[in-house]
Structure formats: C-alpha cells, structure tokens
Amino acid sequence: MFDACVVGSGPGGVFAAYGLRGRRVLMLDAGVQPPAQPALDGNLYDVRRSGPDLDRELIGDDLRGLEHIFTPPASLKLKSPGTAYILDGAERLTPVVSETFRAAISLAQGGLANAWGAGVYRFTDTDLRGFPVTAAELAPFYDEVGQHIGISGAGDDDLRADFGDEPQLQAPVRLSRNVARIHAKYQARRARFQAAGVRLGHARLAVLTAPHKGRAAYAYRNLEFFQAHDPAIYNPAFTLREMIAAHEITYEPGWIVTRYEETESGVRVHALALDGQRSQVFEARKLLLAAGAINSARIVLASSHDFATRLPLSDNPIAVFPLIDPRAIGLPLGTHDAAVAQLNVIVEEAGRTLQGSIYGSTGALRSDLIANFPLPLRSGVAFARVCAPALTLLMLFYPETSRDTNYLQLRPDGALRAAYQWTPDTAMERRLCGLWRQLGVVCLPQLIQHPAPGGGIHYAGTLPMAAWPGRYMTYPDGRLHGTRHVYSCDGAVFPALPAKNLTYTIMALALRTATRLRGALR
C-alpha cells in the first residue's frame, strides 16, 4: 500500500507530491502528453517572414488550429496544434454540460498550467478573508514554491504590498514601447492614480528572466500561443519529471479516477483507463485530490453517489479593455516584445479589490481577432496591421464569492451540470476607462469584452475550507469533512476567490497540506 495517492499532476498535485517526498507516493493522472511540438526555431515573426510557410506548425495537418472557429475554446492559447492537447479528452471523459458556463478542463500532464500566463501573486490577509489560514502561515510555503519555480518581477514598486515580498526575485520582463509609456505616465501621475485607488507595477510571473535550476531565460519568441513547455515559463510537468527521475514518486498516467471509498486503514481509489477498456483499484493510506476544482468535485460527489447536491463554483469574471496608443498607430510591430503580461494593476473600488494584467498585442494570430472589429473583413486586415503596434490589452479580473446561482451538480451519467450568472459592473468599467485615458491611451467602453463565465479559468470553491466545515467542505488542513483520509489540494478549497490569480496559492496550500501529512505518515 502507498502512503499517499495524489490525483492529478497540475500545480496542486505536483506540489502535494513535492511536499510528500520521502514517503511512498503514487500519483494517478489522466496524464495526456503533448504531441511533438511544432518545430519553430527562433522568433515567430522572424521565422514567418523568412519562410517556410507555417501551416503545419500553426494550423496542423489535421487542421486543429481551425477548430476554434467552429467551437471557440476558453482561451486562444488552447487552440493550436501544439497546445490543443491540453483540453484533449476532457469533453468525452469528464464532461461539463452548461448553457451558461464554458469550462476548460485539462487531462494533460501538468494540467491547465501548460497554457497558463504564469501570473503569481501572494494572497494578503485581506485576500484570505474567509480562509481559515493567514498570510503569515502561508508565507513559508509561498517561499518554498517561489524558490522552486523561479519568479520575476519588481520587489520595490507600488504593488509590493499587494503582491508580497519574494525572497529571490529575478528582474522583471522587459516592457514593450507602449507598455513602457503607460508605465511612465503612471509614474508621472502616481498620486492621482493612488488617490483613485489604482496602483500599477511590473508583472509578477513564474517566467524566468535569468537561468534558474537548469531552465533557460525567457527569449521573447512570441510562441506562447503555439508551443507548450517553454523552459522559461514554469510548468508543473518539469517538477513531475524531476521527481520521477529521482524515484521520489510512482507516476501512473492514463487513469481517470472516478471515485474512492474509505477503509479502516486508508482509501481505495477506483480508476478507469483513458481508453475506457480497463478499470483498476489502487490503495493508499491517504488520498490527495488535485484533479482541478471541477474534477475533484466530481470525484467527491460520485464517491457519495450524490446527484442532488449543488456544490458552489467560482471563477474570476473578466473584463478585457483594449488600450490604444494613437502615437503608435502605423509604427512597426515590436516583434520581439513579450507575449506574457508586462504590468499588473490593482484597483480598489467600493470595498473590493480587482486585479489585472497588461499585455502587448504580439503572439496571437490577427485572424482570430479581425471578425471582432466593426469593419468589413478586408479593411479589418489592414486595421489590425496598423493598429496592432498601438494596442495593449488590460485583462481585469473581478473577485468572486460563492453565490447560489453558480454551482455544479453531478448527473447520473457522470457529467457535471454547471450553472453560472454574472453581470459586469459597467458603470465602474466606464469610470476606469476614464482613468486609463490619463495613461495616454484611447479606451472606449464600447470595446470592452466580457468573456463568457468559465473564461477566467480560475476555478475554485467547490469544497471550501472552513474552521468548522460542514458536508462537502474541508478543514483548514485540507481534509474533507466526513472523511478520515481524503484531502483536497486544488482550487476546490478556496472559500472565496480574490481577483489575484489563484495558482500560486493553490501550490502553497497544497504544499502546506502535504507537508503536514508527511509528518503524520512517518
């Protein structure tokens, strides 16, 4: 019997396993592997200009890179031949049906973090309101995770108090021309912005700007939309491979965990092979669920044969503000700019805190955007060409709390039914547009986009933590109420969802849960 069985190899699962090193750890994982990655050597724009044609690399022989035109994915990062595998099999094996919520579920080795933007922010005590854990308790776990994954950013700018101190921070990612101008304008009008509750600073990213633990620094190649596993961008699969190579865990990919049952001495974990042909039962003293907030909830409900309960579900709603710098219209595109976030922004508004990331406009194909412009398509091509150099995008996340309208429910056929409602605060967004204009950009409220619920891809809150949990809730140490051996190690445990991207905290909480268990499993 294993000491512990971890389900899933995303950020939560990997840091659960990492914290359990030294014990006999089994990791059960769907574990879908990336296909051979497109052979793109160098910068996207340099390669494309000099030829050869990139239809095979960017669209694929099987035309995967066109599928999104017919069935839009939750993110453009999930649609190309080199990245679409991240969602492979999920619709068939772990479906979510909904009219109102578009779930992105990953069965890949490394999970959704194969495509993540790598924004990493420590939660403060304000963010942790409702959590039975304090920022001070989490600090050593953030430290350990941060040290392991490598983080870049600025430790001394206006976001320091919001994002916390990182003991080893690499230099921030280089700012593009437009973003540097925004940053400079902010610096010049800092007092005015701060009075309005807005703070801006360099992005905090799990993206290396200097080599770290054998991984190379970010090379500004603009391939994030087409290739997974850039060594500069942290991927849990990197840590997983290290642990496998060091014989620290037994990794069993190819299994969909369907349910568990507790025994006197531990847990029996039922799993189905990905091809649906075989099933197997694995035994361990402890079970750590890290299948993602949605799939972990499915496993828990299925283990109770419960088709009636509605579990809460949260995702950060998003507003995307296009910001256009008129002075850059018609200038050459910065083809070696960063495609990852360059700045972060914090907005304090009516007692809540919103958080956003500012991106340049390189990387994504123009064809994916042209039909969104209110122009005939040929004009749209010309418009995209001359305006892209002037465009930056602010992706602003709203905080979310658990609400009755937003839930998951298991159906007898194994599918989850999801429902979600959210309405943007358009008055506030209009006000923010006015503020962004003071950064020297044009911001039109009519152009703000609101991706459908689910598009935040920050899923959380299905098995929330509390000091005194009830059914389908978890104790502060991650243990699921009503069980003796089952723990939750992903976003499921969040009792509230602040606007700061959640994954760093998923990793820190998973490491904390596992570290405590490790002692108990002696």
Partner 1 sequence: MIHRALFPRRPMPHGVAAGYEAARAKFFFDDVHARLVAFLAEHGLDAEAVEYALRLRHGPNGLTRRFQVMLTLCEVRSAYDGAFVQRERAAGRAWAGAPWMALRAAWKLARGMYLMRTHRLDSILHV
Ligand X SMILES: Cc1cc2nc3c(=O)[nH]c(=O)nc-3n(C[C@H](O)[C@H](O)[C@H](O)COP(=O)(O)OP(=O)(O)OC[C@H]3O[C@@H](n4cnc5c(N)ncnc54)[C@H](O)[C@@H]3O)c2cc1C
Binding site for partner 1 (CB under 8 A): 45, 48-55, 57-59, 62-63, 65-67, 69-70, 329-333, 335, 365-368, 370-371, 374-379, 381-386, 388-389
Asked if residue 111 binds ligand X (CB under 6 A), the reply is yes
What residues contact 377, with CB distance under 8 A and at least 6 apart? 370, 371
d(CA 155, CA 153): 6
Residues 21-80 binding ligand X (CB under 6 A) are 28-31, 75, 77
- State how far the alpha carbon of 191 is from the alpha carbons of 123, 188, 352, in Å: 25, 8, 20
d(CA 509, CA 513): 6
Q: Which stretch binds ligand X (CB under 6 A): 106-114, 187-195, 280-288, 473-481?
A: 106-114
3-state secondary structure of 19: helix
Looking up tokens 């108990």 gives 520
Alpha helices in 207-311 (DSSP H): 236-245, 293-303
- Segment holding 521, helix H or strand E: none
What residues contact 404, with CB distance under 8 A and at least 6 apart? none
Exactly one of 209, 295, 344, 406 binds ligand X (CB under 6 A); which one? Answer: 295
Asked if residue 230 binds ligand X (CB under 6 A), the reply is no
Instruction: Answer with the entry of ligand X, partner 1, none that 53 interacts with (C-beta below 5 to 8 A by kind).
Output: partner 1
Instruction: Count Cβ atoms below 10 Å from residue 442 Cβ, excluding itself.
Output: 15
Q: Which segments of 254-315 are extended strands (E)?
A: 255-262, 267-273, 279-289, 311-312
d(CA 515, CA 508): 10
Q: How far is the CB of 444 from partner 1 (least distance, A)?
A: 15
Instruction: Answer with the entry of partner 1, ligand X, none that 439 interacts with (C-beta below 5 to 8 A by kind).
Output: none
Q: Which is nearer to partner 1, 287 or 388 (CB)?
A: 388
Looking up tokens 């776990």 gives 141
Q: How far is the CB of 326 from partner 1 (least distance, A)?
A: 9
Asked if residue 506 binds ligand X (CB under 6 A), the reply is yes
Instruction: Answer with the entry of ligand X, partner 1, none that 476 interacts with (C-beta below 5 to 8 A by kind).
Output: none
Asked if residue 490 binds ligand X (CB under 6 A), the reply is yes
DSSP letter at 276 equals S
Q: Which stretch binds ligand X (CB under 6 A): 128-136, 154-162, 286-294, 513-521?
A: 286-294
Asked if residue 10 binds ligand X (CB under 6 A), the reply is yes
Asked if residue 311 binds ligand X (CB under 6 A), the reply is no
Binding residues vs ligand X (CB under 6 A): 7-13, 28-31, 75, 77, 94, 104, 106-109, 111-113, 115-119, 255-257, 290-292, 295, 299, 457-458, 490-491, 501-504, 506
